[in-house]
Structure 1
């Protein structure tokens, strides 16, 4: 079975999923970035479908850009400009052509973390 990529965003400051965050996925090769997908998180903080489905999966280096600033403003967690966190990039590699990769974002107004989930 071919691999695929999923993601989700949890608002750790409020203790809930982060709905309405725009996520961009880029394929990275050297200094070149090619946008290959764009999704928005649903009420569960997940995308409605894999951000990189099986039919489009390739191993390589990728970057997820989470546009968190609009969400943090909308939820009243930040107001001063410029924001400490606006766009959150996560660059990672996928080397197993048959694996499910899951790259979540744990977000707060002044920090974030990620990991390879399942």
Structure 2
């Protein structure tokens, strides 16, 4: 909840390659009071089954910039491993069909995503992350 002297921040992560929320993504929040000030870590959370962080800490009074750090690599690696196992199961079930083997390419191109934005006291900032293994997008939501 925001007051007249502080901003508030919320986020959620959607896996656009699956068309589902991304559960279990760690998110850290930091703030600073001016573009030349040092970042102050405020804490973090992880996305729930709906892909939302419902308990991010509130930025302190005087915050002008906020940074969200999303640790997406563990989520995407787990998803990639599951997909490989399912592909292998299908190939084993169809013994005449060639198995789809992984080329050895990295399953994750962006291991983490950092989003930095300016804030104004008294306003709420909802910043969704739309994620897939080879790209992402963010925007100011409502």
| Bin for the TM-score computed over the shorter chain | 0.7 to 0.9
Secondary structure of the corresponding residue to residue 39 of structure 2: strand
> Which among 110, 119, 128 is matched to residue 104 of structure 1?
128
**How many angstroms does 1:83 deviate by?**
3.4
Instruction: Considering fraction of residues, name the structure with more strand.
Output: 1
* Distance 1:93-1:82 versus aligned 2 partners, 3 A rule: same
Q: Aligned partners of 2:49 and 2:115: how far apart in 1?
A: 22
Q: Could you say which structure has the larger radius of gyration? A: 2
Using the size of structure 2 for normalisation, the TM-score is 0.71
Q: Which runs of no fewer than 5 residues in structure 2 stay unpaired?
A: 85-103
User: Alignment length, in residue pairs?
Assistant: 115
Q: How well do the aligned residues superpose, as a CA RMSD in angstroms?
A: 2.3
CA deviation map 1:21-79 (0-9, x unaligned) = 00011113526222112100000000132x2438x465411110000000000111797
Secondary structure of the corresponding residue to residue 117 of structure 1: coil
Runs of 4+ in 1 over 6 A off after TM superposition: none
Could you tell which deviates more after superposition, 72-81 or 36-45?
72-81
Indicate yes or no: 2:116 matched with 1:91.
Answer: yes
Match of 1:22 in 2: 26
Match of 1:6 in 2: 10
Instruction: Considering fraction of residues, name the structure with more helix.
Output: 2
Could you tell which deviates more after superposition, 58-67 or 101-110?
58-67
**How many angstroms does 1:82 deviate by?**
8.1
Could you tell which deviates more after superposition, 39-48 or 70-79?
70-79
